[in-house]
């Protein structure tokens, strides 16, 4: 369940708590291209003997554009649906996921995941909604009643940046480490906001950052990545490996 926690919990547990946000994606949404290698079902088990199984279903975004003035989604916009269950207890996970854009910088692949989509799943279900774990109703071009606040307000979405590598049968995902992103911002290597939490006497510390947000433009981000400035953000000990279901 590790990638679900990485990709979903950042948006679900508080406003981007534990992950870095970016005001801009790593590519131009209007000229983006979908990575067809990602399309399909992916599975992860928590260790060789663990009973929990996590699933990702990745496909092209069917209806909902990032730019709400568009009638159709951007050409490269994709969507991930995520869930899982415990084989011993038969208890299922909540249904989550969100939209994202893919891009290649140099020879490496990256995705810009819409954080507002992930945060939407943290909101309590309205009375009469489908039971937890059930697939949500089909979306349409109008914002859903539980749409993320930023989308309802007409604001541009924020993104979580991840690196990934995909072959026919294996998908590896690395999230950007918040501490490393903040260090790059504080040292002036890339534009952004890195605001530390102020801990009151006797208060338990839960994370050191109040906010870590990249404000650099798409072009500035790409130049920083091309120069190798973001390499340290994607740590090997945080990677998650999925296998394709056939």
Q: Please write the tens of the pLDDT for every residue from 13-38.
A: 333 346 799 999 999 999 999 999 99
Nearest to 193 by CA among 209, 208, 205, 176: 209
Joined tokens for residue 6:
């990485």
Residue 175 near residue 238 (C-beta atoms within 8 A): yes
Beta-ladder partners of 211: 195
Q: How far apart are CA 197 and CA 71, in angstroms?
A: 41
Q: How far apart are CA 222 and CA 27, in angstroms?
A: 8
Q: What is the pLDDT of residue 151?
A: 43
CA distances from 191 to 186, 199, 224, 230 (A): 9, 25, 10, 13
Q: What is the pLDDT of residue 57?
A: 95
Q: What is the pLDDT of residue 13?
A: 34
Q: What is the pLDDT of residue 66?
A: 94
CB atoms within 10 A of CB 63: 13
What is the Cα gyration radius of the chain? 18
Q: What is the pLDDT of residue 31?
A: 94
Residue pLDDT tens, the chain, 246 long: 444 444 444 433 333 346 799 999 999 999 999 999 999 999 998 765 678 888 999 999 999 999 999 999 999 999 999 888 888 888 888 878 899 999 999 999 999 999 888 766 544 444 444 333 334 434 443 444 334 444 434 568 899 999 999 998 999 999 999 999 999 999 999 999 999 988 766 655 566 888 999 999 999 999 999 999 999 999 999 899 999 998
CA distances from 66 to 19, 103, 126, 216 (A): 21, 16, 24, 19
Phi and psi for 30 in degrees, rounded to 5? -75, -20
CB atoms within 10 A of CB 197: 13
Q: How far apart are CA 197 and CA 89, in angstroms?
A: 39
Q: How far apart are CA 228 and CA 231, in angstroms?
A: 5
Q: Are strands 240-244 and 170-175 parallel, antiparallel or unpaired?
A: antiparallel
Q: What is the pLDDT of residue 173?
A: 95
**CA torsion through residues 77, 83, 84, 90, sign:** negative
Joined tokens for residue 174:
């690395």
Q: What is the pLDDT of residue 206?
A: 60
Q: What is the pLDDT of residue 119?
A: 60
């Amino acid at each position: 369940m590790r990638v679900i926690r990485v990709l979903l919990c950042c948006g679900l547990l508080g406003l981007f708590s534990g992950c870095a946000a970016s005001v801009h994606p790593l590519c131009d949404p209007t000229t983006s291209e979908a990575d067809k290698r990602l399309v399909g079902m992916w599975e992860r088990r928590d260790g060789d003997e663990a009973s929990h199984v996590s699933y990702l279903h990745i496909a092209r975004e069917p209806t909902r554009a990032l730019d709400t003035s568009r009638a159709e989604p951007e050409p490269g916009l994709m969507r991930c649906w995520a869930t899982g269950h415990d084989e011993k207890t038969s208890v299922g996970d909540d249904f989550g996921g969100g939209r994202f854009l893919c891009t290649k910088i140099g020879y490496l692949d990256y995705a810009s995941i819409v954080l507002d989509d992930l945060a939407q799943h943290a909101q309590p279900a309205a009375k009469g909604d489908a039971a937890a774990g059930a697939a949500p109703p089909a979306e349409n071009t109008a914002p859903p009643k539980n749409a993320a606040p930023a989308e309802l307000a007409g604001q541009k979405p924020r993104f979580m940046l991840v690196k990934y590598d995909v072959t026919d049968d294996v998908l590896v995902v690395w999230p950007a480490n918040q501490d490393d992103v903040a260090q790059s911002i504080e040292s002036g290597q890339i534009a952004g906001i890195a605001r530390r939490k102020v801990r009151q006497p006797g208060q338990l510390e839960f994370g050191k950052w109040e906010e870590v947000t990249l404000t650099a433009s798409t072009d500035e981000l790409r130049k920083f990545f091309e120069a190798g400035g973001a390499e340290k953000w994607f740590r090997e000990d945080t990677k998650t490996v999925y296998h394709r279901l056939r």
